[in-house]
Structure 1
Amino acid sequence: MLRRERTLGLTLLTCLLVLIFEDRIFANLGNPFHLVPVMAWLFFVILATAIGVVRHAEALSERLGEPFGTLVLTLSITGIEVMSITAVMLHGENNPALVRDTLFSVVMIIMGGMVGISLLLGALRHWELTFNLQGANAYLSVIIPLAAFSLILPDLTLSTAGPTLTGLQKVMVGGTAAGLYIIFLLIQTGRHRGYFSQPVEEEGAEETHAASDAPTTLHVLLLFCYIIPVVFLVEQFARPVDYVIETLGAPTTIGGILMAILVTTPEGIGGVRAAMNRRLQSSVNIFLGSVLATIGLTVPIMLAISSLLGLDLELGLEPANMLLLIVILAVSIVTFSSGRTHVLQGAVHFLIFIAFLILSYSG
């Protein structure tokens, strides 16, 4: 067990070093030979720790079965995201676009890059993959209006200047997001659980790893032991990122993109692995469930926190990003409309993701 959990030891050691030598670690960020190693060190420790969260969430998912298994995973990662964004928002100067950039980056990285890679690799290995059409449609039917209300509507309202919302509009958007997500959870874990299970013809798909023999309570305890240090380290990671953005003139979206990469990469590993083993429904549950949880939980929580603390919050996307969001949602409707996927669909999703990366840095 000590060997399996050595990542947690590295994470706790990193937290201790940052607490003791904070001034020395962040004192010379103007030197690129100091800045780059610090950013790389924190980034990879956070990523390794987040993968530890996924490992224990997957162990719990094996005990609980679908759809509860992937629900534990998505809620764990979304919890990290919400707490990390809150910590970063409270650190230093207010970044009003951080929530918007992170939400948009999560949508594009997951629905573009991760879905694309999963469909590509799965199709190259198995020609076609099947999933439960009703489950995918249930996800998209909630994701589409929530994405539109959260990331497009603020650009179209006239009550306030810029991509922002009035107090009443915040209540409407936040209440809609939270309400629809709660209703979705009741459907997913209640009378329509079968919508989120692998189709019968794929039930014999091989598993990727053996079930853990550790007690369930131990996995729950270790899950929280991994989550808490991640939030602290993300707040520290924001300091060199802020320096790069403010001092070196890097694109302001880099903070949101890096945050999104940190919280979505562990899920991506699990989703791609499931698709490679003919369990595309697990990938759908992980990827679409993560996007839904991100919008359904992050938006109302961030709206509430920003209102209570008097922080500025910009949610509306710029025109180019708005077009990318509409395209990826439209393509997802087509991809998940037949119950089967093939290599072309994976290529389309992945190329949209490449376009997102290029436009993020070139405008």
Structure 2
Amino acid sequence: MTAALRTITPTAILRLILGWGVFIALQFMGSLLAPPVPTPLLVTALLVIIAVILICAFGVVTEAEHLANRLGDPYGSLVLTISICLIEVILIAAVLLGPGDHATIARDSVMAVSMIILNAVIGLCLLVGGLRHGALTHNRTGVSNYLVMIVVFAALAFALPALIGTPDGAYEIWQEIPIIVVTVGTYVFFLYRQMGPQAHEFTEAAPVGPASAGASSTAGTTQPSLTEAADQSESRPPEAAGRAGDAPHGIVEILSTHRVEIALRLVLLVATVLPIVLLSHDMAKLLDDGLGRLGAPVALSGVVIAMIVFLPETLTSLRAAWNGEIQRVSNLCHGAQVSTVGLTIPTVLVIGMLTDQQIVLAESPINLALLAITLLVSIIGFAGKRVTAVQGAAHLIIFVVFGLALFA
């Protein structure tokens, strides 16, 4: 118990005090921050909020990495992915249940998140990892599972409503129920396979070492290349990588042995993430005011909010890329995308049904085209044995075009 309590460090406590303290202070300043806010106060408040969010984000990264090291992948990656996704769902639900008409909030938020995760974050990770380590080997079977789920969920969320739904791009009530059941059921089945029988397919395909940085220097030795190592890793049976039946028992043993530490770190992670989301609400109001004065599109504020909410996962992914852990990058990014669409869309549809609100999901042609290009580039890039910095640059180009499309 004493060793477990050491997880609550003075730095973690200071982050909590800072995050929650600033949030409480902003509630007392509500009248001062009501639009239109004087420009000096607007800029100051935005800088303070963003700084506090960044500090809390680093705290989330710290706890998530400790949990990942304790639990191992894919369980460690799932902790951060699911927690961030659930908070995103809560954030969208809070907007839906608030005043005003927000028929497209789920569509706009999930599309922004998709472009950020699949292009900005993965693009940066491939660029950083590729420049530092060269071509990196990933577990193609695991990544393929992610991409298959992303393609199906994206089609159900953004394309199908325009083809079979109402003229506004929303599902009919009788269509929503099977879509919800199929999406949630498939997502739960995917999680079961990922955490159980197929857990070994979401681990690193080959260790990162000197071979990844300079394979040519070992050309005359009998050491296998990264490509050969990947072939051996992918071709070996589950028993060699960790028996399918052993994974659940292993995680149960870890949870039993370190239950107090894991519980405390989970509480710290959630308690540190919540101020990020709560402060994002205040930041959204200030951004809307500031962007309105600049004449920028209002949709830009949604992109900024999405980037802030997913900042902890972005930082964790970049650190994994820096260490050459490309499969962990996939677990975090592709896993976040699957969770976001697999949980957010059904939840929003349920809220719409219960509150008698229309949920418009059909996307614009330009965003559908960009999403299709993104998925095509992802499938082609990760179909190979290794990924490179060039592929990262391609994803970043798509994200830049998405940013330009916001102003079109």
Question: TM-score by structure 1 length?
Answer: 0.90
| Residue 14 (structure 2) aligns with | 6
Conservation of the 8 A alpha-carbon contact between 1:66 and 1:196? yes
**Percent of residue pairs identical:** 33
Cα-to-partner distance string for 1:254-306 (whole Å, 9 max, x where unaligned):
23212210122221111121112121010010010010110011111111112
Q: d(CA) in 2 for partners of 1:194 and 1:32?
A: 54
Paired amino acid for 2:115: M
Cα-to-partner distance string for 1:18-40 (whole Å, 9 max, x where unaligned):
222222232542x3333333333
Question: Which residue, 96, 108, 120 being the options, matches 1:101?
Answer: 108
Deviation at 1:337, TM superposition (A): 0.3
| Residue 344 (structure 2) aligns with | 298
Q: d(CA) in 2 for partners of 1:128 and 1:350?
A: 18
Does 2:133 match 1:160? no
| Residue 286 (structure 1) aligns with | 332
Conservation of the 8 A alpha-carbon contact between 1:87 and 1:235? no
Conservation of the 8 A alpha-carbon contact between 1:91 and 1:235? no
Paired amino acid for 1:323: A
Does 2:263 match 1:255? no
| Residue 149 (structure 2) aligns with | 142
Q: d(CA) in 1 for partners of 2:285 and 2:336?
A: 27
Conservation of the 8 A alpha-carbon contact between 1:102 and 1:260? yes
Deviation at 1:242, TM superposition (A): 4.2
Question: Which residue, 310, 318, 321 being the options, matches 2:364?
Answer: 318
| Residue 189 (structure 1) aligns with | 195
| Residue 37 (structure 1) aligns with | 44
Conservation of the 8 A alpha-carbon contact between 1:74 and 1:290? yes
Higher mean C-alpha displacement, 222-231 vs 139-148: 222-231
Q: d(CA) in 2 for partners of 1:160 and 1:324?
A: 23
Where do 1:1-363 residues align within 5 Å?
Answer: 1-26=9-34, 28-29=36-37, 31-157=38-164, 159-202=165-208, 215-244=261-290, 249-361=295-407, 363=408
Deviation at 1:227, TM superposition (A): 3.1
Q: 1:231 to 1:119 in 2, by over 3 A?
A: closer
**Secondary structure in 2 matching 1:313:** coil
Cα-to-partner distance string for 1:311-350 (whole Å, 9 max, x where unaligned):
3322111111110000000110001101201122111111
Deviation at 1:51, TM superposition (A): 3.6
Conservation of the 8 A alpha-carbon contact between 1:205 and 1:279? no
Q: d(CA) in 1 for partners of 2:210 and 2:65?
A: 19
Deviation at 1:137, TM superposition (A): 0.2
Structure with larger Rg: 2
Q: d(CA) in 1 for partners of 2:131 and 2:108?
A: 33
Deviation at 1:42, TM superposition (A): 2.6
Deviation at 1:154, TM superposition (A): 1.7
Conservation of the 8 A alpha-carbon contact between 2:280 and 2:309? no
**Secondary structure in 2 matching 1:162:** coil
Q: d(CA) in 1 for partners of 2:127 and 2:197?
A: 33
Q: d(CA) in 1 for partners of 2:178 and 2:57?
A: 33
Cα-to-partner distance string for 1:86-116 (whole Å, 9 max, x where unaligned):
2233344232222111111111111111111
Structure 1 unmatched ranges of 5 or more? 207-211
Paired amino acid for 1:340: R
**Secondary structure in 2 matching 1:9:** helix
| Residue 235 (structure 2) aligns with | none
Deviation at 1:354, TM superposition (A): 1.0
Count of matched residue positions in the alignment of Structure 1 and Structure 2 = 354
Conservation of the 8 A alpha-carbon contact between 1:205 and 1:278? no
Higher mean C-alpha displacement, 186-195 vs 229-238: 229-238
Question: TM-score by structure 2 length?
Answer: 0.81
Q: d(CA) in 2 for partners of 1:142 and 1:288?
A: 9
